[in-house]
Amino acid sequence: MSTQELEIQAAVAYRSDEPFTTTTLELRAPAAHEIRVRIVATSVCHTDLMTKNKALCSFPIVLGHEGVGIVDALGEHVSGFEIGDHVVLSYDYCGHCPQCEKHKPSYCNDHGSLNFAGTRPDGSKTHRTPGSGTADVFGSFFQQSSFATYALSHASNTIKVDKALPLPLLAPLGCGVQTGAGTVFNTLQVEPDTSLAVFGCGCVGLSAIMAAKLAGARRIIAVDINKSRLETAIALGATHRILPGEIGDAAAVVDHVKSVSQTNGCHYAIDTTGVPGVLRQAFDCCGPLGVTAMIAPGVPGTEVSIEMLGLLPGKSLRGVVQGDSESKTFIPKLIDLWQQGVFPFDKLITRYNSIDSLETAAQAMASGQVIKPVVVIDPAFQE
């Protein structure tokens, strides 16, 4: 079976301004280093929507980078996996560049080409329209393209999990949850009795808040323009909520966060919004030696202005990809915390059934109506 092409269903992005459309495609047989995964569920991440809506990719393309599923076929050079294994898919990396060797694979020299090029590392495409002689649809998004019934991944971005776990719930671990929690645990290494401000309480921000509570931060300040998100933030561990509209302008919000921190400014701040003015506020909220983590960079070319004097008290601004996480060890750690009941990331999830609901799920996330939509593709796992 592994040498055959396979007919699949995929929610294809044909253009930036068109909805995801479920279509039949042919998926190439797994190459020597590829794993074919029958996708059980996929969640939707803002990166999928930004990539499509801002046309940061070639079209048509199969997006999706938070897939979970069951190993269906193995290329001849894949080891360590068996058909039937349950897996979570994450971002890919080369494994041998200086950053990969330093256990920082999210800063891999090939991060862009492996995750965003829409092709295999050799430049070939994996999907084609039935009847087309050549592969005419881009895929290999994060070396998975999980908005489909089947995906091709690598051993490097495929994480085996216990078959007893509820697979659909694990989908957001591959990017959004790992990014938020990893920023706290791996990047900032938040210490007990500290203060932390989180700007933007979507999946990434709320995952950061849950992690900060576990890390023992004393003051966890949630900032968002959506009132219900702030209520969720409090339920998950934030100690303070700030609705900027109730406080005043940017300077007033910064003053308020600093006063709430009770530490002459926060020890840490995280901006998940990708809005330059909000990143500036996050940075300004930090006190001496404070570290600001920037998670969402906005579209290419977006700039932020920071007062140089503001950097002087030992402050730093740090870009963060995937929470500096090594998915192979970090995702099992997050699953373990979830099983202990101290990291309830499943509370962020809204389930949708069938691949046809992908556009509805994406719209609900984009409008802020839901935090993390999980689209359950495999009927056996639908509720």
Taking the least distance from each CB to Zn ion, the nearer of 177 and 242 is 177
Of residues 50, 55, 83, 97, which one binds Zn ion by CB under 5 A?
Answer: 97
Residues 103-132 contacting Zn ion, CB under 5 A: 108
Of residues 47, 143, 156, 195, which one binds Zn ion by CB under 5 A?
Answer: 47
Q: How far is the CB of 261 from Zn ion (least distance, A)?
A: 29
Taking the least distance from each CB to Zn ion, the nearer of 112 and 131 is 112
Residue type, 293: A
H/E/C letters for each residue in 222-265?
Answer: EECCCHHHHHHHHHHCCCEEECHHHHCCHHHHHHHHHHHHCCCC
Taking the least distance from each CB to Zn ion, the nearer of 217 and 365 is 365
Q: Where does this chain touch Zn ion (CB under 5 A) — which range of 74-82, 96-104, 164-172, 339-347? A: 96-104
Q: Where does this chain touch Zn ion (CB under 5 A) — which range of 40-48, 122-130, 214-222, 229-237? A: 40-48
Q: Is 49 in the site for Zn ion (CB under 5 A)?
A: no
Q: Where does this chain touch Zn ion (CB under 5 A) — which range of 85-93, 114-122, 180-188, 232-240? A: 85-93
Burial tier of 276 (Cβ tally within 10 Å: 0-12, 13-18, 19+): middle
Q: Is 6 in the site for Zn ion (CB under 5 A)?
A: no
- Evaluate the omega torsion of the peptide bond into residue 379 and state whether it is cis, within 30 degrees of 0: no
Q: Is 366 in the site for Zn ion (CB under 5 A)?
A: no
Q: By the 8 A CB rule, do 62 and 41 touch?
A: no
Q: Is 146 in the site for Zn ion (CB under 5 A)?
A: no
Taking the least distance from each CB to Zn ion, the nearer of 121 and 276 is 121
Query: Minimal CA–CA distance to 93: which of 155, 31, 161, 137?
Result: 155
Q: Is 89 in the site for Zn ion (CB under 5 A)?
A: no
Q: Is 100 in the site for Zn ion (CB under 5 A)?
A: yes
Letter string b/e over residues 188-215, b meaning 16 or more CB atoms within 10 A of that residue's CB: bebeeebbbbbbbbbbbbbbbbbbbbbb
Q: Is 295 in the site for Zn ion (CB under 5 A)?
A: no
d(CA 129, CA 23): 9
d(CA 46, CA 59): 18
Taking the least distance from each CB to Zn ion, the nearer of 221 and 331 is 331
H/E/C letters for each residue in 154-193?
Answer: EHHHEEEECCCCCHHHHHHHHCHHHHHHHHHHHHCCCCCC
Q: How far is the CB of 76 from Zn ion (least distance, A)?
A: 24
**Interface with Zn ion by CB under 5 A: which residues?**
45, 47, 93-94, 97, 100, 108, 175
